[in-house]
Structure 1
Amino acid sequence: MVQFKNRYMVMEVFVDANRDWVGNDPIILSIFNVSNAIKDSIQLNFGECGLAVSLGSFQVKYVNPTTKICIIRTSREDHQKVWSAITMVRSIGKCAVTFNLLDLSGSIKACKRAALKCDEAKFEQYKLVTGDRVTVEITNSVKSCFDKIKALEN
């Protein structure tokens, strides 16, 4: 039996705060929004065949809308194609975004450690910037996101 090999990417999403949104609602990062933006970029840059090959293992495993950290799984053979398509994503919805690769690993265990470390550091930075405006709901939401990272499996 042959084991299917994956690559896991821990990505940071930078949202352009200077851009005016259509309406007053900023983009809410979700697994669905991030996944669709990446799939659209793969299709645009590599065509239908490139999309079909990449979708075999592609999955957005985790997104934290507060700290804007996400984990993406892809096959080992196609990880460079997916990574290059991710760097070409310029918007999610109508909001300008940029992706930054924080960690690339071959196991979910190493990816979880890196994502948790980055997420905790980003949340501490978020608390320093927002000060007293950090509500209990936001703190509980981020803590539940930390629990989701710890519970990730293949």
Structure 2
Amino acid sequence: MVRFKNRWFLVEFIRCETTTDGGRRPATVSSKQIWNALKDSVLLNFGDAGWGAVGGSLNVKYFSPVTNLCIIRVGRDNHQIAWGAITLLTTLENERFIPHVVHCSGTIKKVQQAAIRHNREVVGRLRARLKAVESYQPHASLPQTDDEAEEYLSRTAKEIESLQD
């Protein structure tokens, strides 16, 4: 018996519009909308054959609207099609985003570790910007104080670690 092998993508969706918070405004999209956008991208760029190859295994496991970080699972055999579809995405729900594949791995554990590391970096940059520029006003849902930042990081780490294959 052969097990089904996956590839896991850690993707950051960077907002294109210039905002006062450096593109870190919480996204107005959900996991389902990302899945639909990926499906449309695969169909547009790779046709029905591409969708037939990845459609059964494509799954959005996690999405954080605060950091715009997403974990996507797809079957290993055709992960290049999914990667291409992710890269060719330009809009999600009429908002322009640039998808940045931060990490690709064969196990969910490695992607979880990369996601936690990436969350720490993003929140650290936001905190540094908040301290450096007095006029900087991040979006209300972003952590404002050190305690809020630590609470957010521990909460998201628990959410990410609870994901299962």
TM-score range, shorter chain: 0.7 to 0.9
Aligned residue in 2 for 1:18: 18
CA contact (8 A) 2:11 2:102 kept: yes
Shift of 1:29: 3.3
Q: Please state whether the residue corresponding to 1:48 is helix, strand or coil.
A: helix
CA contact (8 A) 1:11 1:69 kept: yes
Aligned residue in 2 for 1:52: 52
TM-score (norm 1): 0.85
**Which sections of structure 2, spanning at least 5 residues, go unmatched?**
20-25, 132-136
**Which sections of structure 1, spanning at least 5 residues, go unmatched?**
20-25
Aligned residue in 2 for 1:105: 105
Q: Counterparts in 2 of 1:113-152, with a 5 A limit?
A: 113-131=113-131, 134-135=143-144, 139=149, 143-152=154-163
Q: CA RMSD in A?
A: 2.3
Q: Please state whether the residue corresponding to 2:128 is helix, strand or coil.
A: helix
TM-score (norm 2): 0.79
Letter paired with 1:152: L
CA distance in structure 2 between the partners assigned to 1:29 and 1:129 by the alignment: 25
CA contact (8 A) 1:29 1:68 kept: no
CA distance in structure 2 between the partners assigned to 1:29 and 1:128 by the alignment: 27
Q: Deviations over 1:63-102 (max 9, x none)?
A: 1111111111101111100000111101001111111111
Shift of 1:143: 4.2
Overall identity of the aligned pairs, in %: 31
* Equivalenced residues, count: 148
